[in-house]
Amino acid sequence: MELKLHTKQKLAGEVSLPGDKSLSHRAALFAALADGVSEIDNFLDAGVTRAMLQALSAFGVQYELNGRHLTVFGHGLDGWQQPQNPVFCGNSATTYRLLAGAVAASGLACTLDGSEGLRARPMERIFQPLRQMGVGIESDNGRAPARFLPRSRECPLRPIHTTLPVASAQVKSCLTIAALYADGESVIDEPGPSRDHTERMLRSMGAQVISCAGNRVQIVGSRAPLHPLRIDLPGDISSAAFLLTAAALVPGSFIRIPSVGVNPTRTGFLDALRSMGGSFSVENEREVCGEPVGDIRLTASPLSATEVSGDLVVRMIDEFPVFAALACGANGVTRVRGAKELRYKESDRIAILCEELKRIGVTVKEFEDGFDLVGGTCRGGEVDAHGDHRIAMSLALLGLISPEPVVVRHAEILNESFPEFLTDLQQIGGEVCLSA
Ligand code: S3P
């Protein structure tokens, strides 16, 4: 599918978003670990969360998905069954890494595999600490597919005390889940503030997971049953970032997005936007099941370049493609540093962004850990999504400001995380042109 976006007018309106991707993954998995029936509203129905649900059903977990309402019939981890075939995690690294924590704890023998794209992602970062906890894992090259060897349920995992080399919520969550079933207290330290949804949600289900100062998590392993979930998931701030960017790029625009998750470990994009002169407010702040939620209202304003590095990188780790689109509409040179982790996402997001942006005229210089991007240089032309949903949507947004159209090839990948992207844009006045 080829995608072209443009607009002849300012964008304006209100858009409600489906549930947060990270929270949807966790809600489905933790509900499958709980004892009892969980009811989850505003579940994100997209490629990556379908991957989680399908993987769970391979372990005999039963669920019903009606629109955005998910019911999961949990029977505790002891109720999980041995899968008959390799368990396929699709394109979803969150599914793979979080599920690996549960599989490790279960002692069930199984092979976890995924798409070609997922097979290219680094998994040794979870295999090595899981092995330290006593899990047998066989993998050729520290990547999927990996075979988890059977372990007797009488033989619990060893607790872990570790410092992660890179801040990663997926690795932290994998180990946290395994540590819940370990024999004693585990401590995980991180070099930066990665998203803490796992800690918050597991705590709300009765687990002893304590977030401490200095990016430390303490987990008391007890094998105690988790309470089922009853939760209305907030909208995804990472999806909101695309619509906020669309409105911020087109002069005179206005957008309101109610009920967005504004957990401080996720709001780095808003901080970066503010430092560029973005004019927005977060209103009606409240807490839903331990997660901060607010309504975001933005009015387009002139933007100037900014610099992003340090902890801010971790707090906006998924937003660099859309941030690059935003920077194309800002005055001056935007600098990103300390973001080497972007090279290990759905694509090498530093290399791919620089390569594709250059194709449409943007002056951008690649560094090992970031890029320098000159605003106001986007001309238009043809680009490719490279199998990366966020690259597809971000490049498409540039069609709103470039003198020539921007055509994004293989844009269907956006359905992996934000299938409503195009209809939401149309709802605020954007024009969408699709061809086969
Ligand atoms: C996620 C954590 C991040 C993020 C991903 C979702 C999660 O990955 O990029 O889209 O839900 O825990 P890392 O933990 O690898 O940084």
pTM above 0.95, yes or no: yes
* Active-site annotation holder among 45, 196, 236, 318: 318
**End-to-end Cα distance, the chain:** 5
Mutate to test the pocket of ligand 1, among 26, 168, 418 (most ligand atoms within 8 A of CB): 168
Mean pLDDT of 18-26: 98
Domain-by-domain residue ranges, the chain?
2-19+234-435, 21-232
Query: Of 257, 263, 258, which Cα lies nearest the Cα of 242?
Result: 257
Beta carbons of 28 and 59 less than 8 angstroms apart:
no
Is the pLDDT confidence value at 250 over 90?
A: yes
**pLDDT of 39:** 98
Question: Does the beta carbon of 195 sit less than 6 angstroms from any atom of ligand 1?
Answer: yes
Looking at residue 153, its pLDDT comes to: 79
Q: How far apart are CA 120 and CA 374, in angstroms?
A: 31
Give the pLDDT mean for 147-166.
95
Q: Which residue has the tokens 């209809």?
A: 423
* Chain-centre distance for alpha carbon 309: 19
pLDDT value of position 265: 98
What is residue 120's predicted lDDT score, i.e. its pLDDT?
97
Mean pLDDT of 136-144: 97
Q: What is the C-alpha to C-alpha distance for residues 404 and 401, in angstroms, rounded to an integer?
A: 9
Residue 289 banded pLDDT, cuts 50, 70, 90: confident
The residues facing 110 across adjacent strands are 148
Give the pLDDT score at 97.
98
pLDDT in tens, 199-236: 999 999 999 999 998 999 999 998 889 999 999 999 99
C-alpha 222/C-alpha 220 separation (Å) is: 6
Residues 6+ apart with CB under 8 A from 382: 359, 360, 407, 409
- pLDDT at residue 326 greater than cutoff 90: yes
**Do 2-19+234-435 and 21-232 agree at the fold level?**
yes
Please check whether the domain covering 21-232 is classified as CATH 3.65.10.10. Answer: yes
Is residue 82 pLDDT above 90, yes or no? yes
- The response to whether residue 237 sits with its C-beta less than 6 Å from ligand 1 reads no
Q: Which CATH class is domain 2-19+234-435?
A: alpha beta
- pLDDT at 50 exceeding the cut of 90: yes
Cis, peptide link before residue 145, omega less than 30° from 0 = yes
Does 314 have pLDDT greater than 90? Answer: yes
Atom 16, ligand 1: residue with shortest CA distance: 168
Residue pair 232/41 in contact (Cβ under 8 Å)? The answer is yes
Q: Are 276 and 333 in contact (CB under 8 A)?
A: no
- Return the number of other C-beta atoms located less than 10 Å from residue 67's C-beta: 10
Return all residues near 221 (Cβ < 8 A) that are at least 6 apart: 156, 157, 159, 179, 180, 181, 182, 183, 184, 185, 186
Of the chain, the percentage scoring pLDDT greater than 90 comes to: 97
